[in-house]
Amino acid sequence: MSADGTILVTGGSRGIGAATATLLADQGHRVVIVDIAPEPLVGTTAILWPAPFDVASESAVVTGIADIEKAHGPITGLVNAAGVFGKMHTIERVRMEQWDREVNIDLRGTFLVARSVGIGMAKRRHGAIVNVASVAGMTSGPIHAYTAAKAGVIQITQTLAAEWGRSGVRVNAVSPGFTRTAALEAGIASGALNKDLLARPTAMNRLVEPMEVAQAIAWLLSPQSSGVTGINLPVDAGYIVGTTWAAYGGLPHAPAS
């Protein structure tokens, strides 16, 4: 990622995308955010692309990337944070239109944007891409399209890393655990999710903060990770390592102070 280039953040108006765009802008990078429902980030220098950006539309992505680079210069860093969370249903209640929406945005959209930006990076022989996957793509749960889509994001990250490695482009993924975004908080407030049940299996006994995911993304974009490509980095407060301990009586309590 070049210091004088542009970093594009999809889904940048909210959630992990907004946290990442804010952090990168605070670090002095030129950051452009796009979103299907674009809203500016208050108190940052991140640049809002004012037109709605539909990551699932090939024509919209190709045209949008060309217009953004024409206005703001070559994109040297990309954060694919646009996504929708899955609907929790038993398998017989999964509606295919909902499945298609989640897969189109979470998987197809990630691929379309990565391809459109990465081809230019490969021609310039420099760039870094971070795709936002999920621990849901590494485990199982009643969010059938979402788990499949995020597993696909992890796989295409590996493939694109191999495809473009010799062209100087690094491609990595982060897999957040349950992260305290506005969408998750709304799910907790509605009763659809239980905060204690989300936190209890984690080794650290808590949810992940959006800025913690942003910091991992910033590192993967930076020269400090120059030898890293094709990895999937869980940022999950120990969710993956903690879940299996229930079979052995649960995680140990912290010692009394």
Other CB atoms closer than 10 Å to residue 249's CB: what's the count?
7
Cα atoms found within 13 Å of the Cα of residue 151, Cβ hemisphere only = 12
Six token digits for residue 158: 């590996």
Distance in angstroms (rounded) separating the CA atoms of residues 203 and 131: 25
DSSP state at residue 106: I
Say whether 248 is catalytic.
no
Six token digits for residue 83: 């996504």
Six token digits for residue 215: 């910091």
Vertex 220, ends 218 and 223: CA angle to 5°? 90
The amino acid at 149: A
- Side by side, which strands form the sheet with 127-132? 47-48, 30-34, 6-10, 75-80, 127-132, 169-176, 232-235
Strands (E), 71-201: 75-80, 127-132, 169-176
DSSP state at residue 49: -
Six token digits for residue 159: 């493939």
Which residue among 111, 146, 178, 239 is the active-site one? 146
Six token digits for residue 60: 């919209």
Instruction: Tell me which residues are annotated as active site.
Output: 146
